Chain A
Amino acid sequence: MEDRILEIMREVFDDATVDTSCSQSNCEKWDSLHHLTLISDLEDEFDVEFEPEEIAQMRDFNAVRDVICSKS
């Protein structure tokens, strides 16, 4: 699952170097707009729906993974 998340993040941020340390504070491309694209793509990929509170939490790779884990 981590790989699938990373793959989507790399695609959304158009950056092949994205790894598990990626976060909103260290990734310049991860602004509010790319965040929305990321959320929308993750929802489709994992067939889940995130709540706005969860979307606000998902600010780094680990948080993204944790929220998705909590859904499956």
Chain B
Amino acid sequence: MKYFIFRNQTIEQFFGDKNCAYSGYDDITLVPAEAENYIWFYQMPVNSDSRLLSREINSFAEKLELVATSINPAKPFIVFTLESLFTLRLTGDSLQVRISIDGFNRKAIELSKVRPNVKVVDLSEFTLQYSADQLFNWKFYFISQTVLNPKLAKDFKIWWEHIERELALKRKKCLVLDLDNTLWGGILGEDGPAGIQLGGDYPGKAFTYWQAALLELGKNGVILAVCSKNNEADVFDAWQRNPYMVLKKEHFAAFRINWQDKATNIQELASELNIGLDSMVFVDDNPTERELVRQLLPMVEVPEFPQRPYELMSFFKSLVEHYFQVYSVTSEDMKKTEQYKQNAQRRAAQASFTDMDDYLRSLEMSLHIMSVDKFNLSRLAQMTQKTNQFNLTTKRYVESDLRQMLADGCRIYCVSVSDRFGDNGITGEIILRPMDATTIEIDSLLLSCRILGKGIETAFINTILNLLADDGVKTVKASYIKTAKNAQVEDFYDRMGFTVTGVVDDIKHYQLQLADYRENKDYYLIKID
């Protein structure tokens, strides 16, 4: 599996199913170790209560951090920014929501600074190309819970492939710069240190901005070097005396200012800096020099240079995008990665998710277990039709089937789950068929994938089994019927302490003798009606 994607919405249309596996909706409990990369793609939930919405968004940041700590630090974790894909300014304070979104994105960036494997991808690069109507479509939201219009899937895939390439691209280490007509306008040897175009009005201003941008690049770990055909003394003089000079001698790790050919100079720079030629980028306004370097040193990257000074800033942006993307891991980061790897091995001896209970406790979950009634009957029938993944037997029923089963003495319970972010409504169901006075069979057990990963399935079945024990039931029979979609519950009954009594074709039969009261974690508030 190339990517494992944490998500809270339907996004399969955008990443496809070939290389990707997906978490449950807003489920951070499962972190499959075999994934090569992890992705975080959460987007804004739909909620017209801006206070609740804002709280929920705030919780994403906590979850992101929890996930980041449990991922192997040697594997990339790609975090997409949260964007405001639609505005729901029906009531309340949209600024509050804005602040929460910004808070999440800030958190993601902070994480990427302390964890070298975390890379933040700015989703707004993609979304800003579209209008609000193009981005979000209520019809598709209601039929499939996708907050990004599936019509954008093709465009998204193209954009994502581009990002993937950038992520995979080896970051270059060193930028080798020419001087005349590259870092300033004009020719130093002819125009003199005061005569070159730098500072003041255009075009000098454009060169100042360009130098300032390059200086920032240098501060971010890119090695800057100079390779220029000039008299060295003239250049030192200009660096010192021209008041508009931003990039000066001290900003360059090495320089070759002489009349030797540039290919030789670049080779010397590489050995002086002890880096490979393939980690160098050479920028020169002169096409002849560029061609020479391309011919003699094909491993050096040589981009085209803009014709006009006002194009320098766009050129800078493309330089960064092509060669110095912050997504990539530098050698310094690699060292950190190694340290992280060791820490991770230490941690693996302990429980891998030490904070999980704290996290689950913080959700303030409450389970309301009810018998079937005329208000929920149709919802329960519908759930048997639609639930595929967490469904032990995948038996499909309509309302009249359920009524008939009730008439035959079956018991049907459902569970409604709420937490501090709101009420999920009825999301789980169990159908029990009595065999004799003390034996009962679980005909169906299913939960909506939306609430998985919070231990609710365990709390639900424990509570039901306790109820049955109270009623004098001694033996519970159950079965698992394999389908194309329900592999995740293949061993559910095993985990719940049932014993396999036989396997016939694709059906596993189980039995459980009810004995002790089954304890639930104390953070579930359970109410039974």
In contact, A33 and B139 (Cβ under 8 angstroms): no
Most B CB contacts (10 A, CB to CB) among A32, A33, A39, A44 go to A33
Q: Report how far A43 CA is from B149 CA in the complex, Å.
A: 13
Does B13 count as interface, using CB distance less than 8 angstroms? yes
In contact, B150 and A37 (Cβ under 8 angstroms): yes
B484 interface neighbour in A28, A32, A36, A37, Cβ under 8 Å: A28
Instruction: Give the bracket for the number of chain B residues in contact with chain A.
Output: 10 to 19
A17 to chain B, nearest CB (A): 19
In contact, A52 and B142 (Cβ under 8 angstroms): yes
Does B241 count as interface, using CB distance less than 8 angstroms? no
Q: Which of B143-175 contact A (CB under 8 A)?
A: 143-144, 146, 150-151, 153
In contact, B139 and A40 (Cβ under 8 angstroms): no
B152 to chain A, nearest CB (A): 9
Q: Report how far A33 CA is from B146 CA in the complex, Å.
A: 11
In contact, B151 and A33 (Cβ under 8 angstroms): no
Q: Looking across the interface, which residue of chain A has its beta carbon closest to that of B11?
A: A33
Question: Chain B contacts of A6 at CB under 8 A?
Answer: none
Q: Report how far A44 CA is from B150 CA in the complex, Å.
A: 11
B494 to chain A, nearest CB (A): 27
In contact, A40 and B153 (Cβ under 8 angstroms): yes
Question: Chain B contacts of A22 at CB under 8 A?
Answer: none
Does A8 count as interface, using CB distance less than 8 angstroms? no
B143 interface neighbour in A28, A37, A52, Cβ under 8 Å: A52
Question: Chain A contacts of B140 at CB under 8 A?
Answer: 36, 40
In contact, B151 and A36 (Cβ under 8 angstroms): no
Does A55 count as interface, using CB distance less than 8 angstroms? yes
B186 to chain A, nearest CB (A): 54
Query: B-side interface residues toward A, CB under 8 Å?
Result: 10, 12-13, 17, 139-140, 142-144, 146, 150-151, 153, 484
The 13 listed contacts between A and B (C-beta, < 8 Å) are: A32-B144, A33-B13, A33-B17, A33-B144, A37-B13, A37-B150, A37-B153, A40-B140, A43-B151, A49-B139, A52-B142, A55-B143, A56-B143
Knowing that A36-B143, A43-B151, A44-B151 touch, tell me 14 more A-B residue pairs with CB under 8 angstroms.
A28-B484, A33-B10, A33-B12, A33-B13, A36-B10, A36-B140, A36-B146, A37-B13, A37-B150, A39-B150, A40-B151, A52-B139, A52-B143, A55-B143
